[in-house]
Amino acid sequence: MTPLRDSLINLLGSDRVLPEIACEQYAYDWWPVAAKWRNQGKSPLRPEIVVRAKEVADIQKLLGWANTHRIAITPWGAGSSVTGAPLPLTGGITLDISGLNNTIAINIQNLIVTVEAGKMGHILESELNQLGYTLNHSPQSLDRSTAGGWLSTRATGQFSSKWGGIEQLVVGFDVVLPNGELVTFEAGPRMAVGPDLRHVFIGAEGTMGVITRVTLQIFPQSKHRILHALAFDNLSDGITVMRETMQRGLRPFLLRFYNPAESRYAMRDTGFTKCVMFLGFEGEPSIAEAEFRVCQSIWQQFTVEELGSAPVERWMQHRFDFSTVENILRRPGGLAETIEIAHYWDGIQDTFDRLMAALSTFGIEVLAHFSHTYPQGTSLYMILLGERANDADAEATLLQIWQTAMRVTLDTGAVLSHHHGVGVVRKDFVREALGSAMIVLDQIKDVLDPNNVLSPGKLGLNPDQTIQSG
Ligand SMILES: Cc1cc2nc3c(=O)[nH]c(=O)nc-3n(C[C@H](O)[C@H](O)[C@H](O)COP(=O)(O)OP(=O)(O)OC[C@H]3O[C@@H](n4cnc5c(N)ncnc54)[C@H](O)[C@@H]3O)c2cc1C
């Protein structure tokens, strides 16, 4: 046994320390580059050891000990990140929190649920559905991600245009700080007692603390839904309809608009040539109907073809399906990637055009849609599909694609990531993206984690002084 394994078994007990063979499994998340590494038998970001915590005290003990001995710890929820976020940059210990997976309390009067941070999304949603409630947080990865992971990546679900991202849906949480101390953030329905300190940990990707318990809003399940599909001749008309819909105060729970390449997939029709929009309103029937009618008055100013509800119903049934990307990545040389960004309404078309031009030079198919919308702007989500001679070529192309896409994103004033976060793939762009705000992030990290033990090197923090592992 290695000295590190010995020490951890002494500290936590042998049932908390996974066998050596498990390290391989924690060397890959859902980042397509990691899929290409796996195909090639490479694991450059492999932990030295994996600890699976079963109670909060395990995490407190581990962090306190690692801080003293300056050993790197990288938290792991369910490993569904698509950016390399839970992969350790400097080896050390991966801390799997999936053993903390209980539902602690459901409070119907206050409409909140409290769970341990390793609770899987689909299990929680199913427990709530049995009582007639829902999270209204529905990422495509609902069945492969945890509540703690959602907070740590600032995740957002497919219905966010009405219900908001996780930062709006979270009420409070517990965090173990890098020195092992347990801290509770409880905001009630709203709080004006100093800055909202929760945001130091929301989106921190495991660099500031380990989230152990989460309280989220819940909602009665909607009794009424209106679904409708529209086809536009061009992209700009549809973008205008999205903008006006949000700026008139309407809140569709579903608002997705696809470029022609992705419309063919969305419509399951290889001959489809237009841009399709999927719309959905829900809630009190009279309110949903009224919102739908106002939205109708907006789209009727444009040339649109009405396609009814069937295409959207089909999408709702298959909305967790990721098999197109998964199947391509499994193939030798198969290349598939997803990149999401955001911009204000007055900048999104230019960013889109320049990204399409830059990415088409890679000889790949570029599917694109706008799916999380706000009065001020929208997300842009691209799915890139292609083929290379072998996995090494595909890996190299994926990394070039990211460099190109992030460069265009920043050069056109867009936001570096809308919801997949930074991970490994975007870490070198964070300083530029945050600009003068980076000094605050640096200083918070220095105070909370002076020994740079938690997820060293992530979020563009301390890039040149990552610590050595045990
Ligand atoms: C098919 C597919 C579809 C997806 N769709 C969406 C989508 O619709 N919306 C969306 O937002 N994302 C989506 N994602 C990305 C991913 O699911 C999210 O980033 C998710 O929030 C990650 O949760 P996780 O529990 O798997 O965390 P992990 O991937 O294990 O970890 C993510 C990051 O959070 C940190 N972390 C995890 N748990 C904790 C904790 N308890 N305390 C502190 N740090 C922690 C890790 O160190 C890492 O930096 C998708 C991914 C896939 C594979």
| Best of 33, 60, 115, 153 for a ligand 1 pocket test (most atoms within 8 Å of beta carbon) | 153
- Which amino acid residue places its CA nearest to atom 28 of ligand 1? 79
Would you kindly state where each structural domain of the chain is located, as residue ranges?
Answer: 3-98+446-460, 103-220, 225-317, 323-425
- Say whether pTM exceeds 0.85: yes
CATH class of 225-317: alpha beta
Total count of residues recorded for the chain: 470
Q: What is the pLDDT of residue 463?
A: 67
Question: Considering just the CA atoms, what is the radius of gyration of the chain in Å?
Answer: 22
CA-152 nearest atom, ligand 1? 34
With a 6 A CB cut-off, is 420 part of the ligand 1 pocket?
yes
Out of 3.20.20.140, 3.90.550.10, 3.10.450.50, 3.30.465.10, select the CATH number for domain 103-220. Answer: 3.30.465.10
Domain 323-425, second-level architecture: 2-Layer Sandwich (3.30)
Q: How does the average pLDDT of the chain come out, rounded?
A: 96
- Which amino acid residue places its CA nearest to atom 53 of ligand 1? 80
For the range 109-113, what are the long-range contacts, defined as Cβ-Cβ under 8 Å and sequence gap of 24 or more? Answer: 111/217, 111/218, 111/219, 112/171, 112/215, 112/216, 112/217, 112/218, 113/215, 113/216, 113/218
Cα 371 to Cα 287: distance, rounded to the nearest angstrom = 22
Q: Is the separation of the CB atoms in 159 and 253 below 8 Å? A: yes
CATH topology assigned to domain 3-98+446-460: 3.30.43
With a 6 A CB cut-off, is 165 part of the ligand 1 pocket?
no
With a 6 A CB cut-off, is 152 part of the ligand 1 pocket?
yes
With a 6 A CB cut-off, is 98 part of the ligand 1 pocket?
no
CA-78 nearest atom, ligand 1? 26
Q: What is the pLDDT of residue 470?
A: 38
With a 6 A CB cut-off, is 29 part of the ligand 1 pocket?
yes
Q: Is the separation of the CB atoms in 463 and 452 below 8 Å? A: no
Cα 199 to Cα 261: distance, rounded to the nearest angstrom = 37
- Residue-level pLDDT, tens digit, the chain, 470 residues: 789 999 999 999 999 999 999 999 999 999 999 999 999 999 999 999 999 999 999 999 999 999 999 999 999 999 999 999 999 999 999 999 999 999 999 999 999 999 999 999 999 999 999 999 999 999 999 999 999 999 999 999 999 999 999 999 999 999 999 999 999 999 899 999 999 999 999 999 999 999 999 999 999 999 899 999 999 999 999 999 999 999 999 999 999 999 999 999 999 999 999 999 999 999 999 999 999 999 999 999 999 999 999 999 999 999 999 999 999 999 999 999 999 999 999 999 999 999 999 999 999 999 999 999 999 999 999 999 999 999 999 999 999 999 999 999 999 999 999 999 999 999 999 999 999 999 999 999 999 999 999 999 999 998 665 444 43
Cα 207 to Cα 56: distance, rounded to the nearest angstrom = 18
Bridge partner list, 74: 94
With a 6 A CB cut-off, is 320 part of the ligand 1 pocket?
no
- Which amino acid residue places its CA nearest to atom 27 of ligand 1? 149
